[in-house]
Amino acid sequence: MPVETDVERAIFFQTDGFGSTATYTPAGGEAVTINGIFEKDYEEVDAGGTIGFAATSPTFQCNTTDVSSAAEGDTLVVGSDSYIIRVVMEDGTGITMLQLEAQ
């Protein structure tokens, strides 16, 4: 059960702090503007050899209520970059992380 309310979590996602604005579009649905934290960090990937390589792993964290029907294949646009949602991870506290694939 979440400790914070949606209003309190929205403070965390404000765009004058850590947050970014994105456009979320469910498959066959209407686009909506949401706020969240976008990360596009590089991480080392182990391909089974002795040397790894770097790859990006873009994610977007937001209020679960903003993406309550999110599913694989929906789209998210952050800035001018378009992404397909590949994994939806609800953490049970009112926050959802979307794992993205660049288009």
Q: What percent of the chain has pLDDT over 90?
A: 61
Q: pTM higher than 0.75, yes or no? A: yes
DSSP letter at 29 equals S
pLDDT computed for residue 19 by the predictor: 93
Domain ranges of the chain: 6-102
Asked if residue 87 lies in contact with residue 76, where contact means CB atoms within 8 angstroms, the answer is no
The CATH architecture one would assign to domain 6-102 is: Beta Barrel (2.40)
Residues 37-86 have pLDDT tens digits of 999 987 777 777 777 777 778 999 999 999 999 999 999 999 999 999 99
Asked if residue 21 lies in contact with residue 14, where contact means CB atoms within 8 angstroms, the answer is no
Asked if residue 45 lies in contact with residue 31, where contact means CB atoms within 8 angstroms, the answer is no
Backbone torsions φ then ψ of 30, nearest 5 degrees: -90, 140
